[in-house]
A and B are shown apart, each in its own frame.
Chain A
Amino acid sequence: MESVCSINNFVQCLLNLGIAPDLAQFINILLGVVLVAIVPLVTVIMLIYIERKVAARVQDRIGPNRVGPYGLLQSVADAVKLLTKEDITPLGADKFIYNLAPIIAFASVILVWAVIPFTPLHVGADLSIGVLYFMAVSSIGTVKVVVAGWSSNNKYALLGAFRTIAQLLSYEVPLVLALLIPVMLAGTMSMQGITIAQQGMWFIVMAPVAAVIFFIANLAEAGRAPFDLIEAESEIIAGYNIEYSGFKFGMFMAAEFIHAFTIAVLAAVIFLGGWSGPFVHEVPVLGFIYLGIKTFIIYLFSLVLRSTVPRVRIDQLMAFNWKFLVPISIINVLMTAFLLQVVRALGLAPDPAQATDFVANLPQAVILLLGNLVVIGIVLTMIRNTGRRQRLEDEARHAAALERELERVSAPAGD
């Protein structure tokens, strides 16, 4: 037996110390929970700094550079400032619920981290329903919006909450449909299983359409630009969290930042192979680094998107979802299911024994990629035709208006 205590034989270690098995298990789980919850909490401070720096660079500014070396401590200063602000509870507010909302907001995001596999060995809980768990937990996020908007006793908060719920509920549909595809490809809903299934070929190669839909729908779920109507200061002041101040407001903001980072991690796990990379089975800790790099690329992409794309209007947001994303997701699911059956019927699916082999995965991947490219081609053609038709209509209207104007001017003044 090993005598050194490490994270892998922690329970055994406690048992050797003479602690009851139930209690040892409980301590083990508790420590795991604390560890998994702390990772996003610590990263969020860095994320805010990075986000502000990247946004500044895109807009040709310098960004935070005063507090600490390179302004690294700016987020800490901001956090301290938020903590010292007055904590206001509106007079007509429903106190208990009002205070509950930030906690729900935070919990709904942190809970997702329980199923994220960091390395082949380190995962909070490898649930057999990991993907569904993610959907279930993030649907709790809608509760926080209702609760915060209603309990503030403010009509702007309530209106903002209505809009936000409409947005969150609508974008859940394409999100679920996009998540179906990696589940179909991997044959399992477990996050660890999905990562292992990508050892030979990343799912972004086999299902680029699903990856893009997943990313867009998740941006909307997290309320990130260009879908940040949740905090559209210019429209309805600030939405459902208008009455919150100080620490509670900080919790909403932190939850939003962590959510944005969480979706990057999820995209990395589900479509970019998670921890998989060279030598990861020999040195599991490398998984952290690979996952971190992949996550960061996606996160940086979302940051650049945030600072370059203008915010959409609420009607554009809904139309985009129901008239564009949902139909494409449904077609995509049908197409992928059909092609998977074709691949299996032709015997091109990789043998389970060599599922991690790149070459064995190639035929299946090529067929699925071609299917995806066809979908992308059709969609782009449709967008182009619609755009052209609209432009022609606009031009015709303009020409007609111009002609009327000319007639009016050239007509004799008196009659």
Chain B
Amino acid sequence: MIELNVQTIAFLIFAACILGGALGVVTTRNLIHATLYLVLSLFGAAGFFVLLSAPFMAAVQVLVYIGAIAILIVFAVMLTRSMTRLRDIYNRQWVMSAIAAGLLFVLLMVGVILPVWGVGGAQAGREVSEVVASTAELGTALVSPNQFVLPFEVASLLLTAAMIGAIVIARDDE
């Protein structure tokens, strides 16, 4: 069905990283360990981006998520250190949540992904283009007036607002 070449092996390794890391995040009692599992999962996602020929996104993923967001989370965990080891890590609805999440996954797989894009699905036979837009084209698209320049500017405004908001909220009142 699927030939076993270097790309497939890489895919399987990264998929194991992503899913294993994600499971670690939601099941580990120690939050620092959970953060490291999160890093593993994010790293796997970066590997996926490389496989999908989006190297720019992979580098940004590592830079933003692992270099900044994961570190931020570690800081938050350390600053709220008395909460690192709770006796009960799950709330009362965890069984319901597990069932809901499992059902959602089954629904997505059986209802959407396999019939449409799976083997023999409606969209499965599509040709995959060999030509891929380069990083330079992404840069041009982000600042070109008839593509994404407005969302781009709004995004930078959002970042500024978030930065100011975070400082104001987290600061000690003096």
Chains A and B touch (C-beta atoms under 8 A apart) = yes
Residues on A close to B: CB < 8 A? 22, 25-26, 94, 97, 127-129, 132-133, 135-137, 139-140, 142-143, 146-147, 150, 158, 162, 165, 169, 172, 188-189
Q: Are B67 and A22 interface neighbours, CB within 8 A? A: no
> Which residue of A25, A143, A189 contacts B135 across the interface (Cβ within 8 Å)?
A189
Q: Are A140 and B78 interface neighbours, CB within 8 A? A: no
Give the Cβ gap from B169 to chain A, nearest Cβ, in Å: 19
Binds A, one of B12-20, B68-76, B117-125: B68-76
Alpha-carbon separation in the docked complex, A135 to B60 (Å): 9
Give the Cβ gap from A201 to chain B, nearest Cβ, in Å: 22
Give the Cβ gap from B127 to chain A, nearest Cβ, in Å: 23
Q: List B contacts of A22 (CB < 8 A).
A: 5-6
Q: Are A129 and B71 interface neighbours, CB within 8 A? A: no
B22 interface contact, C-beta 8 A: no
B134 interface contact, C-beta 8 A: yes
**B:32-68 near A, CB below 8 Å:** 32-33, 36, 39, 55-56, 58-60, 62-63, 66-68
Q: Are A142 and B56 interface neighbours, CB within 8 A? A: no
Q: Are B6 and A129 interface neighbours, CB within 8 A? A: no
Give the Cβ gap from B77 to chain A, nearest Cβ, in Å: 9
Give the Cβ gap from A146 to chain B, nearest Cβ, in Å: 5
Give the Cβ gap from A52 to chain B, nearest Cβ, in Å: 33
| Chain B, interface residues (CB within 8 Å), range | 20 to 34
Alpha-carbon separation in the docked complex, A26 to B74 (Å): 37
Q: List A contacts of B136 (CB < 8 A).
A: 188
> Which residue of A133, A146, A189 contacts B74 across the interface (Cβ within 8 Å)?
A146
Q: Are A150 and B59 interface neighbours, CB within 8 A? A: no
* Closest B residue, CB atoms, query A97: B36
Q: Are B60 and A132 interface neighbours, CB within 8 A? A: yes
Q: List A contacts of B59 (CB < 8 A).
A: 129, 132-133, 135-136
Q: List B contacts of A169 (CB < 8 A).
A: 68, 71
Q: List B contacts of A127 (CB < 8 A).
A: 55
Give the Cβ gap from B99 to chain A, nearest Cβ, in Å: 32
Q: List B contacts of A26 (CB < 8 A).
A: 6
Residues on B close to A: CB < 8 A? 5-6, 30, 32-33, 36, 39, 55-56, 58-60, 62-63, 66-68, 70-71, 74-75, 78, 134-136
Q: List B contacts of A136 (CB < 8 A).
A: 58-60, 62-63, 66-67
Q: List A contacts of B33 (CB < 8 A).
A: 94, 97
Q: Are B71 and A140 interface neighbours, CB within 8 A? A: no
Alpha-carbon separation in the docked complex, A189 to B6 (Å): 27
Give the Cβ gap from B146 to chain A, nearest Cβ, in Å: 21
* Closest B residue, CB atoms, query A141: B67
Q: List A contacts of B6 (CB < 8 A).
A: 22, 25-26
Q: Are A143 and B70 interface neighbours, CB within 8 A? A: yes
Q: Are B71 and A128 interface neighbours, CB within 8 A? A: no
Q: Are A146 and B71 interface neighbours, CB within 8 A? A: yes
Q: Are B78 and A139 interface neighbours, CB within 8 A? A: no
Q: Are A129 and B36 interface neighbours, CB within 8 A? A: no
Q: Are B135 and A142 interface neighbours, CB within 8 A? A: no
What are 8 A-B contacts with C-beta separation under 8 Å? A132-B60, A136-B63, A137-B62, A139-B62, A143-B70, A143-B71, A165-B75, A172-B67
Asked whether A150 and B71 contact (CB < 8 A) given A25-B6, A129-B55, the answer is no
Alpha-carbon separation in the docked complex, A307 to B66 (Å): 34
Asked whether A143 and B66 contact (CB < 8 A) given A26-B6, A127-B55, A150-B32, the answer is yes
Alpha-carbon separation in the docked complex, A132 to B135 (Å): 11
Give the Cβ gap from A140 to chain B, nearest Cβ, in Å: 6
Give the Cβ gap from A162 to chain B, nearest Cβ, in Å: 8
Q: Are B63 and A139 interface neighbours, CB within 8 A? A: yes
Asked whether A128 and B135 contact (CB < 8 A) given A22-B5, A147-B36, the answer is yes
* Max count, chain B CB within 10 A of own CB: residue among A142, A146, A165, A172: A146
> Which residue of A94, A142, A150, A162 contacts B67 across the interface (Cβ within 8 Å)?
A142
Alpha-carbon separation in the docked complex, A129 to B74 (Å): 28
Asked whether A140 and B66 contact (CB < 8 A) given A22-B6, A127-B55, A150-B74, the answer is yes
* Closest A residue, CB atoms, query B39: A143
Give the Cβ gap from B94 to chain A, nearest Cβ, in Å: 26
* Other contacts beyond A129-B135, A140-B62, A162-B78: 9, CB < 8 A: A94-B33, A97-B36, A132-B59, A133-B55, A136-B59, A139-B66, A140-B66, A146-B71, A172-B67
* Closest A residue, CB atoms, query B56: A129
Q: List A contacts of B74 (CB < 8 A).
A: 146, 150
Q: Are A165 and B71 interface neighbours, CB within 8 A? A: yes
Task: Give the top 4 A-B pairs by smallest Cβ distance, nearest first.
Answer: A139-B67, A136-B62, A132-B59, A136-B59
Q: Are A150 and B78 interface neighbours, CB within 8 A? A: yes
Alpha-carbon separation in the docked complex, A158 to B75 (Å): 11
Alpha-carbon separation in the docked complex, A127 to B54 (Å): 12
Q: List A contacts of B56 (CB < 8 A).
A: 129, 132
Q: List A contacts of B67 (CB < 8 A).
A: 136, 139-140, 142-143, 172
Alpha-carbon separation in the docked complex, A135 to B78 (Å): 26
> Which residue of A139, A158, A189 contacts B68 across the interface (Cβ within 8 Å)?
A139
* Max count, chain B CB within 10 A of own CB: residue among A22, A128, A139, A169: A139
Alpha-carbon separation in the docked complex, A97 to B30 (Å): 12
Q: List A contacts of B55 (CB < 8 A).
A: 127-129, 133
Q: Are B63 and A135 interface neighbours, CB within 8 A? A: yes
